[in-house]
Structure 1
Amino acid sequence: MKYGVLVFICFAVTLLSCRNDDDGGPEPIPPSLLSEVAPEDDEKIREFLNTHFYNYEDFETQPEGFDYKIVIDTIAGENADKRPMMEDAKTMKFNVSSSHFGLSAEEENIEHTLYYIEAKKGGGGSPTYADSTLVRYQGFLLDGTQFDESKDFSWTDISRIAARGFADGYAQLSAGTSDQIVENGDGTYNINNSGIGLVIMPSGMAYFNRSPSGLIPTYSVLMFQIELGLYVEGTDHDNDGIPSAQEDLNGNGFLGDDNTDGDDEPFNTPPRPNYQDPDDDGDGILTREEIIVENGEITFPDADGDGVPDYLDPDN
């Protein structure tokens, strides 16, 4: 089996699995536990990485006409001596809560492992997971099923990504630089020093018990190749003066559960986590007016000295 691997971005639509109860009527099947699925996913990923290789030799020698696409094949037969992907893979650990999927928060801080390979280092810096990025992508399941592709570069950011492992993955890669953009003459362009990498994420860092399309079953491990073109350093989604990456108050790499005034938001409106809320504490004073920004440095005043900065303290 041989196939190229690039990156996927899409939004999740939850499908409810049902079974019949004793009366013959449908009864929802409760979702599996993160603590059960995470080790199962990790075993699948490690087995895949140990039994497959990618065209690392092409990336090392860069033959004439090479298209810089990652191609994966099984280690067998004439390829029996190839280097397994596991030897090139690096890992990052992340904690995931069931509440991230709208489920009961009884499971908090379940450790998940993200695997990534940097096949081609870009000529620029690395974004944070919260920065807007210019990428090309294609996505596959571990069995080779392709579920999405973007042949041209497109801008994306954390507010549009349902599979958090995608952003956590591109944050480990290096981007290209704007001086290396080349027009192709057909309305598309290349970035000659872009970065290219492979990211494999467990279902808890993807869609878990959700199925965003018929091609992605529930509890699926997802595999992405990311071509990282450019990024916006210090992306500030709500323009409140604080880069979105710095609005991760609990430091878990997930911005959706940092919502200082969440208890006071109207019940019939979508919640606005801090990175999307220009008034983080809901006191009627914009966050931008409760911080001090000078020469790119941010100071967080605490007028009443209670240890809570003004922009997070509605009682100040």
Structure 2
Amino acid sequence: MNVIKYSCAIVLVVLALYSCKKDDDGGATVTPPRDRGEQQIADDKLLQDYLKTHFYTPEDVDVNNDAVVEYQIVKFDTIAGDNSSKEAIFNSSLLTTKKVTKNDVEYILYILNLDKGEGKSQPTFADFAYTTYKGELLYSKSTKVFDSAITPVWFDLASVVDGFREAVVDFKGATDPNPMPNNDGSTTYTGFGRLVVFMPSGLAYFNATNQPNIPAYSPLIFNIQLYNAKQADHDGDGIPSYLEDLDGDGVVFDLDDDTDGDKTPNYADSDDDKDGTLTKDEITVKDLNGDGVITLDEITFYDDDNDGIKNHLDFDDRDLKNE
């Protein structure tokens, strides 16, 4: 699905810069991406113009056409003609902003907080989220919707576009994340998180070299319903993935989170320091309250040589701790 943006896409972007466009001498020419700071200024103007000239109305989603409404999304229209008296999204009391810094550029997300959610589950930036969603372009001569899921799907938030992740982590799941299915097999949730995020291209697909349905430098809109979240431990080493973000930037797949330099970041590496002893054997984990969620105080870290580096990150310390 288009919302997923794996880190390997970085490689595709680099390769795409060497396009098939030819210069006068018959050689390939490089089309560099736009300046991110300048593009953010342009995108923010587009987003603000859209928010100031459009309003929204709820729209029921009946998954199986059985007169049972599973959830609502919002529909957008222009403030004009018979709709001239409608309140602009920009003026809504439900609209908030969130600033996100990436590549030394400060971006602004515009988030319509329809319902924060009443459940206990709330994902971190590296967890799994159970959602329905619809992705739209601001403007399009053909269809505006480029991707959607009307029945819930699990997403790995470590691998989605930044704007999607940064918006969802501020919401909670449903009151009952595992309700009984309806007679027709569909499921109706209550008290779940509902939001719409308006994001600049810099927190989406930017120059979109590998996104055929999304033009380059497109700000995007995502209608999102969040039903559940699960803590992720991608490499099964006992350390929740969000705690393997060593540089604290809210991203777990960059080179700053790769202790042993093997090009596999710690959250996906079962032996973080490449000392031959698996990470899970260099720490002790106990789910003290049995809730299936591991917190920092439920992990015992060791430093056998007292050098200030925890065993699982220190090539010199490799003793088994759970024999």
TM-score of the alignment, normalized to the shorter chain, above 0.5:
yes
The answer to whether the 8 Å contact 1:259/1:280 transfers is: no
The answer to whether the 8 Å contact 2:135/2:222 transfers is: yes
The answer to whether the 8 Å contact 1:173/1:228 transfers is: yes
2:166 is aligned to 168
The answer to whether the 8 Å contact 1:8/1:138 transfers is: no
2:206 to 205, 208, 233: 208
The answer to whether the 8 Å contact 2:70/2:187 transfers is: no
1:191 to 172, 177, 189: 189
Q: What code does the residue aligned with 2:102 have?
A: V
2:101 is aligned to 95
The 1:95–1:57 alpha-carbon spacing in structure 2 relative to 1, beyond 3 Å, is same
The answer to whether the 8 Å contact 1:290/1:311 transfers is: yes
2:27 to 25, 28, 43: 25
Cα deviation, residue 185, structure 1? 3.0
2:65 is aligned to none
The answer to whether the 8 Å contact 1:94/1:253 transfers is: no
1:150 is aligned to 149
2:37 is aligned to 35
Greater CA drift, 285-294 or 163-172: 285-294
The answer to whether the 8 Å contact 1:177/1:230 transfers is: no
1:132 is aligned to 128
Q: TM-score, structure 2 length as denominator?
A: 0.79
Q: Cα deviation per residue 1:136-157 (whole Å; 9 max; x = unaligned)?
A: 1111011151101111111111
The answer to whether the 8 Å contact 1:260/1:274 transfers is: yes
Greater CA drift, 185-194 or 126-135: 185-194
The 1:225–1:57 alpha-carbon spacing in structure 2 relative to 1, beyond 3 Å, is closer
Q: Distance in 2 between matches of 1:220 and 1:179?
A: 34
Q: Distance in 2 between matches of 1:253 and 1:214?
A: 28
2:111 is aligned to 116
Cα deviation, residue 135, structure 1? 0.7
The 1:314–1:66 alpha-carbon spacing in structure 2 relative to 1, beyond 3 Å, is closer
2:282 is aligned to 290
Structure 1 unaligned regions, length at least 5: 1-6, 59-63, 98-108, 266-270
Q: Cα deviation per residue 1:187-231 (whole Å; 9 max; x = unaligned)?
A: 332213222110122212111123333220122212101111111
The answer to whether the 8 Å contact 1:206/1:221 transfers is: yes
Within a 5 Å distance, the mapping from 1:212-291 to structure 2 comes to 212-232=210-230, 234-257=231-254, 258-261=256-259, 263=261, 265=262, 271-291=263-283
Q: What code does the residue aligned with 1:240 have?
A: D
More relative contact order, 1 or 2 (CA 8 Å, 6+ apart)? 1
The 1:302–1:86 alpha-carbon spacing in structure 2 relative to 1, beyond 3 Å, is farther
1:304 is aligned to 305
Q: Distance in 2 between matches of 1:148 and 1:272?
A: 30
Cα deviation, residue 180, structure 1? 6.2
Q: What code does the residue aligned with 2:148 have?
A: E
Cα deviation, residue 26, structure 1? 3.0
The answer to whether the 8 Å contact 2:134/2:149 transfers is: yes
1:103 is aligned to none
Residue aligned with 1:117, SS: strand
Q: Percent identity?
A: 39
Residue aligned with 1:36, SS: helix
Cα deviation, residue 173, structure 1? 1.7
